[in-house]
Structure 1
Amino acid sequence: MKSIIYQIALFILITFESNSQTPYSTWEAGFYGGECYYLGELNETHFLPFNISFGPRVRYNYDQRLGLKLALTYGEISGDDAKSNNSFKRDRNFSFKSQLFEASFVGEFNFIPYSVLDKKASLGTPFLFLGIGYTRHNPKTQFNGNWVNTNELKTEGVNFNKNIFSLPIGIGYKMRAKKFGFEFSWGIRKSNSDYLDDVSTNFANNSFENTLSNETNNTNTTEYENVSNIKRGDQYNKDWYVFTGLTILINLTPEEVCRKI
């Protein structure tokens, strides 16, 4: 996955290398707020469960078609087997929550020429984005009424990395009103980890870890008396997460500057 990230970063830089500015080059800064959810062993449903996400944004519009955005985003994800319609998941009876801290760098492509300052440009346009991300996560689960860090307890006998890389890709629609820009976006992230939810391979060997990683439904405890090395998740299907919401930006480039370029 690292080679893919390097290729994407190189492509973005080469795309914007030819000229540093055009008559439509502008800077914008703003703030995003919306929803965050994840897709993995404990959740396969888009947009649920609902968790918050927010963070600052800075965008450089190279011209009316291309832009670069730097974003810092905080989000929360969660999952609960007890809410699943799958009998195996209900018997597994695991739940988690985690905070995400993401820094991302993406390139944007506007389908219609768009500029906050050019009155002749379209008032709005759909757009695509693709980039790279670096995220810190820390899954926790409930045990004896308390939330505990799963990485410290090694519920699968693995000390996984809390820092991960991701590939953000998504769609959106942006529009302008005087010096302000508004955009709604949906962006999914493919991570290089299967431990956003702390469920990946098999049940742990340690007896205490078994208790924590397999708080099975009491009606099925006989079936799970010895769960060591029994399959718990799918390690070949990495976890995904999504940020979707509204961003409000303000133009930082004086109109006079654009006219002189």
Structure 2
Amino acid sequence: MKCRYSILLFFALLFVADQVFAQGYYNIRRARNLVVTGGTGLAFYFGDLADPGDISNITPNFTVGARYNVTNRIAVGTDLTWFMLRGADSKSETKQIRNLSFRSHNFELNLIGQVTLFEEGERFYLRPLVNPYIYAGIGVVQFNPTAELDGERYYLPDFKTEQVNYSTIALCIPAGIGLKFRLNPFFNISVDGGFRWVQSDYLDDVSSGIYPEHASFEDPIARRLSDRSGETGLNPSLSEKGSMVRGNPDKNDAYFIFNAKLEYYIGTGAIFGSQNRYKGKMRRKKYRGGKRR
């Protein structure tokens, strides 16, 4: 259902692009260094609750952003992205006994630099039909891991399932590659994919190497959220002696974002004052005796 909404949104953006193009073609000679973007795509989680190489936990994302073309090949920009992540031991052949799971709605705000393979040229509307690019930068991600227990969903940081307080805001390092396709003079369609290295191991609420002992929990809900192995019937509780592995504290979590976006070139004069990079020399009008000539 969510993928269907993403497809509908993408075609709606294409319709808007066509309408704006039809109404604004006379502005083609205005300098347009500022580009606004919007799109949708997929997110993939990599962490303690996913097997290596497993991308089955596909979730949606939506993004808006802007970039400024500093030169004909270099741009700087920012993106705000909402995305979902999830993982579950029930999908793993080797981790079902642990029986942990999570779901998280997240926001990423980044600052990136982008370099294209080909120059876009002095006139924005004469840019290449197809242009590969790379990007990298820095950002922050806000996450909120939750888990379902007895039909109710619980916000895991509140229950300290590993007897640890951790921040739900972390630095991330985005980097990736993409392709731009010139749709018309004012619009591009771009597709890109990028990895996010996160400076936290708690996107999924799982990090510690061992389980806390049951006696360390005062709240029975917190104890059950910490150790769910007893629900499977496959093995006795893993935390009875506080010595069994719960997560891998030596490796931080990460995620991958894939997007299809619509890009629109904005005349910077509409924001920063009138300017026209492409117009010829203007004739100067002289005043003599209070009269214009």
Which TM-score bucket, shorter chain as reference? 0.7 to 0.9
- In 2, are the aligned partners of 1:26 and 1:258 still within 8 Å (CA)? no
Q: What does residue 133 of structure 2 align with?
A: 127
Q: CA RMSD of the aligned region, Å? A: 2.3
1:126-178 C-alpha deviation (Å, 9 max, x unpaired): 11100001111110011222110110000111111001100000010012122
Pairwise CA distance, 1:49: 1.3
Q: What does residue 154 of structure 2 align with?
A: 148
Gaps of 5+ in 1: 1-22
1:73-120 C-alpha deviation (Å, 9 max, x unpaired): 10000001000122xx11000110001111111000101113694454
- The percentage of aligned residue pairs carrying the same residue is 26
Structure 1 segments of 4+ aligned residues over 4 angstroms from their partners = none
Q: What does residue 235 of structure 2 align with?
A: 221
Change (3 A) 1:46 1:84: closer
- Summarize the alignment of residues 1-12 of structure 1 with structure 2, pairs less than 5 Å apart: none
Q: What does residue 117 of structure 2 align with?
A: 111
Change (3 A) 1:41 1:215: same
Change (3 A) 1:72 1:142: same
Q: What does residue 139 of structure 1 align with?
A: 145
- Summarize the alignment of residues 108-257 of structure 1 with structure 2, pairs less than 5 Å apart: 108-114=114-120, 117-176=123-182, 177-201=184-208, 202-205=210-213, 206-207=216-217, 208=220, 209-216=222-229, 218-222=232-236, 224=238, 226=240, 228-253=242-267, 257=276
Aligned partners of 2:237, 2:68: CA distance in 1, in Å? Answer: 58
Which of the pair has more CA radius of gyration? Answer: 2
Pairwise CA distance, 1:64: 2.0
**Secondary structure in 2 matching 1:183:** strand
Aligned partners of 2:125, 2:239: CA distance in 1, in Å? Answer: 70
**Secondary structure in 1 matching 2:276:** helix
**Secondary structure in 1 matching 2:171:** strand
TM score, norm. by length of structure 1: 0.83
- In 2, are the aligned partners of 1:117 and 1:179 still within 8 Å (CA)? no
**Secondary structure in 1 matching 2:109:** strand
Aligned partners of 1:148, 1:116: CA distance in 2, in Å? Answer: 54
Instruction: Count residues with an aligned counterpart.
Output: 237
Aligned partners of 2:241, 2:99: CA distance in 1, in Å? Answer: 13
Gaps of 5+ in 2: 1-29, 270-274, 281-293
TM score, norm. by length of structure 2: 0.75
- In 2, are the aligned partners of 1:69 and 1:107 still within 8 Å (CA)? yes
Change (3 A) 1:240 1:166: same
Change (3 A) 1:29 1:231: same
Aligned partners of 1:163, 1:153: CA distance in 2, in Å? Answer: 17
